[in-house]
Chain A
Amino acid sequence: MLRNQRGQSLIEVIIALGLLAIIFTGSWQVIHSSYMSINQEFVGLEAHYLVIEGMEGIRSMRDEDWHVLDEDGTYHFEYNETDLENKYLELITGEENVNGFRRRIEVSSVGRNSETGKITDTDDPLYILDSDTKLVDVIVEWEYLGETRTDRESVYFTKYTEMLYG
């Protein structure tokens, strides 16, 4: 009887440890995946403030000089401080790299329906180009676990300062 019991206990211990290992790996995976989702949110938050930054920069440039938005294309902005009297924010062609994120600002033309004045696309027969309105997309992309993730914001800007003062 004793011999029998001892023989079993070894197998029992192995099975018990095996089960324990399975349970622990399982729970580790659960915790790891929840960690990854928190991490992703964390990185996403950093990207989100970069999107806000891009949009606020464009807003400031819009107020200062509408003509920087004249030509459609992909831009990034640079802050120039050559001397105290001559500080300016500048739109430069191409995307930029900020803390491991790629950020680009896409400026595109907007057309309106000539009757209703509402924004429309080129398929509309009453489409006319509105040079006083531009669509600005700020796109921030980053690599996460081999995948490209994106955060973006799109805003229509109009040349309201000249409507007010011009």
Chain B
Amino acid sequence: MAKKLIKYIREKIKLSEGITLTESVIYISIISVVTVVLISIIVQIVQIKTRANSMSIISSEVSNFFDRLIYDVRNADSFTVVDSQTLQVESDSIISTFSLQDSKIILNKESTDYIIVTDQVSVDSIEFADWTSVNSDNLLHIHITLSRGGLDETFQTTVHKR
């Protein structure tokens, strides 16, 4: 039994020694090349996944915000740009205030705060501008920059009060 084992080990060692040098060089080089490629692919997949995720979140947040704002301003009786980060919209004597607070956009209506742009994204900047002309008083210009995970995007639009 012991003799058999020794013979087996000897054979094994002998065999491995015979092949190891050439084989292990090829072996290690192939594995290292493939590993580098695989790791870079995996890293890219993860990066792309995160970026795509950020994009869809920013998209939904911005369309949510713009749709809400456009609806409110169009149907308002009047609006006032208090400062570039605060907008007051008056409709049926109820005043709603959109304002930027701690990278979030808050809608205050009848003393209740509603979060319009959530903390899933950070609002880097917002700019309301009253593009009111001489005869009509009805044009609001909005500029907003949202960011999430190293990705930031600026959107702008204008809404005309009906």
Contacts and interface: CB of A to CB of B under 8 A. Distances in A.
Contacts of B27: 10, 13
Contact of B158 (A2, A6, A31, A57): A57
A86 B26 CA distance: 79
B158 A53 contact: yes
B23 A56 contact: no
Interface string B117-158: 000000000000001111110110100000000000111111
B52 A50 contact: no
> Number of contact residues on B: which range applies?
35 or more
A64 B135 contact: yes
Interface residues of A, number: 42
A53 B70 CA distance: 11
B56 interface: yes
B101 interface: no
Contacts of B23: 6, 10
B71 to A, nearest CB: 12
A32 interface: yes
A53 B45 contact: no
B15 interface: yes
A38 B52 contact: yes
B81 to A, nearest CB: 13
Contacts of A35: 48-49, 51-52
A156 interface: no
Contact of A88 (B49, B134, B141): B134
B30 A13 contact: yes
A34 B160 contact: no
Contacts of B134: 64, 85-88
B19 to A, nearest CB: 6
Contacts of A56: 139, 157-160
B11 interface: yes
A122 interface: no
Contact of B66 (A27, A34, A49, A98): A49
A160 interface: no
A134 to B, nearest CB: 17
Interface stretch (B31-39, B91-99, B108-116): B31-39
Given A20-B38, A35-B48, A35-B52, 14 more contacts: A13-B27, A25-B41, A35-B49, A45-B59, A49-B155, A56-B139, A56-B157, A60-B136, A60-B138, A79-B131, A79-B141, A89-B133, A89-B139, A99-B154
B136 A64 contact: yes
Nearest to A99: B154
